Amino acid sequence: MECVLRADRVLLGEHLVPASVGINDGCIAFLGDLDADCPAAQDCRLPAAAVLLPGFVDTHVHINDPGTDWEGFATATAAAAAGGITTIVDMPLDSDPVTTSVAALRMKESAAEGNCAIAVGYWGGVVPDNLDRLAELAQAGVRGFKCFLADSGNPNFPHLTSEQLRTAMVRIAELDSLLLVHAESPAVLDASPRPVGRRYRSFLASRPDAAEEDAVGLVVDTARETGARVHIVHVSSARVLPVLAAAKADGIAVTAETCPHYLTFGAEEIPDGGTEFAACPPIRDGANREPLWAALGDGTLDLVVSDHSPCHPRHKAAGDFGRAFGGVSSLQLGPRAVWTQAVARGFGIAELSRWMSERPAELAGYPDRGRIAVGLRADLCAFDPDTEDIVRAAELRHRHPVGPYDGVRLRGSVLQTWVAGVPALSRIGEPV
């Protein structure tokens, strides 16, 4: 073996057990008892506090490269590695050009080449003008497709009408691919008051629960008609949960995610002027948060991803919700933020790994990661679940020190991350 990792607690299936993990050619080649005879060039005994987990997989990341100064592949993947994340899938929005053509995908891959500390995949975008060219993107290697049902905020990435959504689903079903949907209703949003000034309640009122309810209903009905596989991104409203549960019970191929900020914060805690909390859809009241946790527990919600959507600080508009870019910067902190809240609700490390490793890997079509098993990629994370510290945004690896977790106490720390068997951190928080 090239390397063997030995730990008192290794997550195998649903259980933490003492074990040794042998690595060769980037894959897990051996699993045995803690002191198993496994000759290796490097024999590493992890600290007693460490739990060896599959590397986390984040399938909702906006890197915004090339074309902006908001984030880059080097900073995003360094932040991910420091957070125990070994694979990310980049969203097609907010780079220039947007990823709605093969040429744009190749430009994005070129920007990433030589700049990534971890594995990176790509979603393709679906807009009205490329409905006839989705097969080209699928053949070029995108993991699936993403569309909006309401204004994306980017004129280069227009949203789909209900009829265009149906056309997209038919074609994506023919490709045996997957459609990710930003599900907010344009009709409901247009009828809602515009956000004005520094009051968070003004921003919250501009994107009511009904916008998600209406749009998720449309997605489910269209998936029922077309047989397409669909995934609802960033569910924030608990009022859509009965619709999702009923769709799953009916055998419709629908999955759904939520995000750490919806599981952590409540609207009543967000200060006026706190545009670092602005996200679309928005963080809702604390009473809305507990049903989201319950839905993770019963499988109505499948997974948790960051929706890391950073911007330059100037786009947070000095606290004016009427002008601020709606996006939360959080890539490095996602697993720790979820773990902090999960422990308080009686969930364990196996659930954390299922929500943030195994199921995201399944969603993006990565059968070789998300679990620890012989034959899979050696994408691993040594995680101390019991330490706590206070987040300092300026110390994170994101390009810009803007985010709602600044000053928040979080549980857990990442001791090391391995990508295909190779350490991604020279020491805690710093990429090799």
Q: What is the pLDDT of residues 215-244, one digit of tens each?
A: 999 999 999 999 999 999 999 999 999 999
Q: What is the pLDDT of residues 252-265, one digit of tens each?
A: 999 999 999 999 99
Confirm whether 36 is domain-assigned: no
Residue 413 has pLDDT above 90, yes or no: yes
- What is the Cα–Cα distance from 298 to 279, expressed in whole angstroms? 26
Residue 427 confidence class, pLDDT cut points 50, 70, 90: low
End-to-end CA distance of the chain: 22
* 8 Å CB contact between 274 and 328: no
Of 163, 66, 183, 179, the C-alpha closest to 125 is 179
pLDDT computed for residue 74 by the predictor: 97
Q: What is the pLDDT of residues 291-339, one digit of tens each?
A: 999 999 999 999 999 999 999 999 999 999 999 999 999 999 999 999 9
**Mean pLDDT of the region 349-374:** 98
Q: What is the mean pLDDT of the chain?
A: 96
Distances from the Cα of 149 to the Cα of 85, 99, 128, angstroms: 29, 17, 11
Retrieve residue 323's tokens: 């002008």
Full residue range of the structural domain in which residue 67 is found: 55-371
Residue 428 confidence class, pLDDT cut points 50, 70, 90: very low
**Mean pLDDT of the region 104-123:** 97
Q: What is the pLDDT of residues 147-178, one digit of tens each?
A: 999 999 999 999 999 999 999 999 999 999 99
Confirm whether 295 is domain-assigned: yes
Residue for token pair 């995934």: 231
Confirm whether 383 is domain-assigned: no
DSSP per-residue letters across 377-421: B--EEEEEEEEEEE--GGGSSSSS---TTTT-EEEEEEEEEEETT
Number of H helices, E strands in the chain: 13, 19
Query: Dmax over Cα atoms in the chain, in whole Å?
Result: 67
Q: How many CA atoms lie within 13 A of 350 on its CB side?
A: 9
Q: What is the pLDDT of residues 364-375, one digit of tens each?
A: 999 999 999 999
- What is the Cα–Cα distance from 296 to 235, expressed in whole angstroms? 11
Residue 290 has pLDDT above 90, yes or no: yes
Residue 429 has pLDDT above 50, yes or no: no
Confirm whether 8 is domain-assigned: no
**Mean pLDDT of the region 185-211:** 97
pLDDT computed for residue 425 by the predictor: 86
Confirm whether 396 is domain-assigned: no
Retrieve residue 428's tokens: 């805690």
Contacts (Cβ under 8 Å, ≥6 apart) of 393: 401, 402, 403, 405, 406
Tell me the CATH number at 286: 3.20.20.140
pTM for the full predicted model: 0.97
Confirm whether 288 is domain-assigned: yes
Polymer length of the chain? 432
Q: How many structural domains compose the chain? A: 1
Share of the chain above pLDDT 90, in %: 98
pLDDT computed for residue 275 by the predictor: 97
Confirm whether 250 is domain-assigned: yes
Residue 351 has pLDDT above 60, yes or no: yes
**Mean pLDDT of the region 248-252:** 98
Confirm whether 312 is domain-assigned: yes
**Mean pLDDT of the region 66-79:** 96
